[in-house]
């Protein structure tokens, strides 16, 4: 076998993505809709291919974090409604040009939109975000009256009012106060005449817990990609992993007892050993903190990572793997035979969360779609 290109790649199963999205939709009370979150390059999976798959499957609303992410979708010919979660960070004329819906989170943004909308023939579409306990972006509950007064006099179409949950992954109990506050916010908007505006609070964790209440849209993120927000939820919903991370052995080294491996000699062989070198490192987004503590799969066997993970390379000990060969496939995330390494496990080794592992996967990791 001859390697003609770098073998490190992420395999993206779009069928599993759509299956997860449909499973989420099937859980919803009648009348609620799904707004998939595909920010941060669709959590590392590739924004445009993921958006195409979801739109083809019938999902008509998508959300990203930034203006640039929205433009990427439009340039990729994505025709769904696209919502920008983090407010206004470009000229409003550009939002209008690309038909992007900004979610406004402060009075200054609302006032800018009100002024801009006066020159338009059609109402300018927007959303509003309220802070119901996250302590991050969003207007406060006591600003509802000022917001509705401004919007009623403006040439705008208020598509949605949203909030975000800070602790839904921990338990349903932690969402009680945000839900109560958001109910009051909706009551005040309805009283002000915004009868067709949609309201959205549910994230992946609350969707898995089936804590929907009677709001209109749900916004799944990590669950779309087959990953659980919290380990306690694994038995509550069947999700299919969407991403596998693979590479191949590019060198096999026979090292004697007492040989150093990698920068700083943090691993020393305890016996005559066979060490496999893999073309992946922290510049690909595979965390250096996993050095000497994580595992990969080779020929269906778990083998330990040895030595420090470097920028482009890492080493694993394949001494006990029968018939291991140069260019054998290696699984860092995913399945090989009866063995599986989930991204949640990799995150534990790295002392972080699965979100960071997925979104940290760099562009030089080739994405292959199926």
Catalytic site positions = 39, 263
Question: What's the count of helices (H) and strands (E) in the chain, helices before strands?
Answer: 11, 20
Sign of the CA dihedral with 7 first, then 282, 66, and 94 last: negative
d(C-alpha 141, C-alpha 125), whole Å: 22
Give φ, ψ of 89 to 5 degrees: -135, 30
- Supply 164's token pair: 């975000």
Q: How far apart are alpha carbons 34 and 198 in whole angstroms?
A: 12
Are 147 and 185 spatial neighbours (Cβ–Cβ below 8 Å)? no
The total of other beta-carbon atoms located within 10 Å of residue 184's CB is: 13
Contact in structure between 57 and 18 (CB atoms under 8 Å):
yes
Look up residue 153 and give its two tokens: 């006099």
Q: Give how far Cα 285 sits from Cα of 64, 311, 314, 360, Å.
A: 21, 9, 12, 5
Beta bridge partners of 101: 83
- What's the length of the chain? 370
Note the maximum CA span of the chain.
79
In whole angstroms, what is the distance from residue 110 CA to residue 87 CA?
Answer: 10
CA trace torsion 95, 100, 103, 106 (10° rounding): 0
Which own/partner pairs from 359-364 qualify as long-range (CB within 8 Å, at least 24 positions apart)? Answer: 359/40, 359/41, 359/43, 359/44, 360/44, 360/285, 360/287, 361/10, 361/44, 361/245, 361/284, 361/285, 362/283, 362/284, 362/285, 364/6, 364/8, 364/283, 364/284
DSSP codes joined into one string, 169-232:
TT-GGGGHHHHHHHHHHHHHHHHTT--S-EEEEE-HHHHHTT--TT-SEE---GGGGT--SSGG
């Amino acid at each position: 076998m001859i390697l003609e290109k770098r073998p490190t790649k992420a395999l993206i199963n779009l069928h599993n993505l759509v299956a997860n999205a449909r499973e989420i939709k099937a859980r919803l009370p009648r009348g609620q809709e799904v707004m998939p979150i595909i920010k941060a390059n669709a959590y590392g999976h590739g924004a445009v291919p993921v958006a195409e798959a979801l739109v083809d499957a019938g999902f008509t609303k998508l959300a990203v974090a930034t203006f640039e992410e929205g433009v990427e979708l439009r340039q990729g010919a994505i025709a769904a409604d696209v919502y920008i979660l983090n407010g206004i960070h470009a000229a409003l004329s550009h939002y209008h040009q690309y038909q992007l819906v900004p979610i406004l989170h402060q009075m200054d943004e609302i006032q800018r939109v009100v002024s801009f909308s006066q020159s338009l023939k059609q109402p300018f579409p927007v959303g509003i975000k309220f802070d119901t306990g996250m302590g991050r972006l969003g207007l406060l509950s006591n600003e509802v009256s000022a917001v509705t007064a401004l919007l009623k006099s403006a040439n705008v179409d208020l598509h949605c009012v949203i909030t975000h949950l800070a602790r839904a992954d921990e338990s349903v109990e932690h969402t009680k106060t945000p839900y109560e506050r958001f109910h009051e916010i909706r009551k005040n908007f309805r009283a002000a005449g915004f009868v067709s505006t949609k309201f959205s609070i549910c994230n992946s964790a609350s969707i898995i817990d089936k804590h929907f209440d009677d709001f209109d849209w749900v916004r799944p993120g990590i669950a779309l990609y087959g990953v659980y927000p919290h380990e306690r939820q694994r038995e509550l919903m069947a999700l299919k992993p969407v991403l596998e991370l693979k590479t191949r052995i590019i060198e096999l080294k026979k090292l004697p007892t007492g040989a150093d491996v990698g920068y700083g000699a943090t691993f020393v062989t305890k016996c005559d050993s066979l060490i496999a070198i893999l073309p992946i490192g922290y510049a690909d987004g595979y965390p250096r903190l996993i050095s000497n503590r994580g595992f990969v799969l080779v020929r269906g066997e778990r083998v330990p990572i040895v030595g420090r993970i470097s920028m482009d390379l890492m080493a694993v000990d394949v001494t006990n793997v029968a018939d291991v060969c140069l260019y054998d496939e290696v699984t860092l995330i995913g399945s090989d035979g009866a063995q599986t390494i989930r991204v949640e496990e990799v995150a534990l080794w790295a002392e972080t969360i699965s979100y960071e592992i997925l979104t940290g996967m760099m562009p030089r990791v080739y994405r292959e779609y199926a």
